[in-house]
């Protein structure tokens, strides 16, 4: 039977994403000046206020107020009428030293035996329904909001937009789990108060349907472009005007958009958030490692769709399990349990090995904190960081290393594929 599946995304100006970005800019700056830093930072944002809390073990000092304001400014909260503005909001820090009892479980006599920073299970997922091996509904939801942000900042056609926004896409799938059409698209975007309600809503609806959606469609391959028919149901700001938004409209917290950050409800999620955490926290690093494995398995032709799970005990280096589910889509004549054993042989899933393989001790995390941690393009970037003493450090780093298809040949060799 055909069925519908929905995923959503939120913009960089959504309150929870503001929090994620502030937390991750702190992680980046700690790692830039002290790569061995242990960081677990949470952020709360609300009307005119930012509250930072968490635990840190690091040799460097940061001006966290300035860093938080820089993030808020870059997102676009730069006007007092937003009731949350980069220069005037209060920033309260309650960050303190990491518990030595947690740290003793992570650090070991040799780097290779570094223990997991927490217990828990982590999942990675990949599907061949898109070029970036991501679920289509989530990929389109992210694309819509990135294009909306470009138009807010860029060409003037939608300069009435404010930073807060959400999108949602519903896809119809056939009996073989292939997308056949887009059923509905929802876009809710904050905006200036620029006229009568009906006039504003009509303008926003027209611009979303006639400017944003065609620009997103044109980014796609022809087979996916064909899913954009004249029968899509659009809900644009369905509750009416959306002037009050951002942290003034809703309080934001770090780690509250974990499904947006991953696979939009496809696959599975272990429950642990990513932002604000250094890579000794396997909630983050092992989730990236399992995405790397799943993506390379699909790209190598082992299966059309793959879910990979690992789990850990706090303070223990080796995972307590490795699990693979191909959803019956395997192209190799092997049960999933055997595929899982070969994955465990190919990939060292101890925390230190993951950090080294994916270069996770680099300051690469701010880019992950909006529009998804998965499905992004790896990139080499040069970034300058400043600590609380005014010292600057410029580093060249690789971002989204877990998205690289660098194990395809090894996997094909292990599974006898050409």
Which residues are annotated as part of the binding site for Mg(2+)? Answer: 16
Q: Assess contact for 38 and 98: CB atoms under 8 A.
A: yes
Q: Between vectors from CA 314 to CA 316 and to CA 261, what angle results, nearest 5°? A: 115
Work out the angle at residue 104's Cα, subtended by the Cα atoms of residues 101 and 106, and round it to the nearest 5 degrees.
Answer: 120
- Write the DSSP assignment of 222-276 as a string of letters: HHHHTT--TT-EEEESTTS---S-HHHHS-EETT--HHHHTTTTSS---S---TT
Q: Which two tokens stand for residue 19?
A: 């929090």
Q: Binding site for L-methionine: which residues?
A: 55, 98, 250, 281
Distances (CA, A) of 229 to 8, 53, 55: 20, 47, 50
- What are the binding residues? 14, 16, 42, 55, 98, 164-166, 241-242, 250, 256-257, 273, 277, 281
DSSP character at residue 212: I
Binding-site positions for K(+) read 42
Measure the CA–CA gap between 18 and 9, rounded to whole angstroms.
14
d(CA 73, CA 50): 13
* Annotated binding-site positions for ATP: 14, 164-166, 241-242, 250, 256-257, 273, 277
d(CA 62, CA 21): 16
Count H helices, E strands: the chain? 13, 13
CA distance 11 to 16: 9
Nearest to 354 by CA among 120, 111, 55, 127: 111
* Residue 377: DSSP 8-state: P
């Amino acid at each position: 039977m055909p069925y519908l599946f929905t995923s959503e995304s939120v913009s960089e100006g959504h309150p929870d994403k503001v929090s994620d970005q502030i937390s991750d800019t702190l992680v980046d700056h700690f790692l830039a000046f002290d790569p061995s830093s242990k960081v677990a930072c949470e952020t709360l944002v609300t009307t005119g206020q930012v509250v930072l809390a968490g635990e840190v073990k690091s040799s460097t000092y940061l001006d966290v107020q300035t860093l938080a304001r820089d993030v808020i400014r870059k997102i676009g909260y730069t006007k007092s009428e937003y009731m949350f503005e980069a220069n005037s909001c209060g920033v309260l820090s309650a960050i303190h030293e990491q518990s030595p009892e947690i740290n003793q479980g992570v650090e070991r006599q040799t780097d290779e035996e570094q223990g997991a920073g927490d217990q828990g299970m982590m999942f990675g997922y990949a599907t061949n329904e898109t070029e970036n091996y991501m679920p289509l509904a989530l990929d389109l939801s992210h694309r819509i909001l990135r294009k909306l942000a470009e138009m807010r900042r860029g060409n003037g056609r939608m300069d009435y937009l404010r930073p807060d926004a959400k999108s949602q896409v519903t896809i119809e799938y056939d009996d073989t789990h292939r997308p056949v059409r887009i059923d509905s698209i929802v876009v809710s975007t904050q905006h200036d108060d620029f006229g009568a309600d009906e006039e504003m809503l009509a303008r926003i609806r027209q611009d979303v349907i006639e400017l944003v959606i065609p620009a997103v469609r044109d980014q796609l391959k022809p087979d996916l472009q064909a899913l954009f028919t004249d029968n899509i149901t659009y809900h644009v700001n369905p509750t009416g005007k959306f002037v009050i938004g951002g942290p003034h409209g809703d309080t934001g917290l770090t780690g509250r958009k974990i499904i947006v950050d991953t696979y939009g409800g496809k696959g599975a999620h272990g429950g642990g958030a990513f932002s604000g955490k250094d890579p000794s926290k396997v909630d983050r690093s092992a989730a990236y490692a399992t995405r790397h494995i799943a993506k390379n398995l699909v790209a190598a032709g082992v299966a059309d769709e793959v879910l990979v799970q690992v789990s850990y005990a706090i303070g223990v280096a080796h995972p307590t399990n490795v699990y693979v589910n191909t959803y019956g889509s395997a192209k190799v004549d092997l049960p999933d349990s055997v595929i899982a054993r070969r994955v465990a042989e190919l990939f060292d899933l101890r925390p230190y090995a993951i950090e080294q393989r994916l270069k996770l001790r680099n300051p690469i995390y701010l880019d992950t904190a909006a529009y998804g941690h998965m499905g992004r393009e790896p990139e080499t970037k040069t970034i300058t960081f400043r600590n609380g003493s005014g010292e600057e450090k410029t580093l060249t780093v690789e971002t989204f290393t877990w998205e690289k298809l660098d194990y395809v040949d090894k996997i094909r060799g292990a599974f006898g594929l050409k």
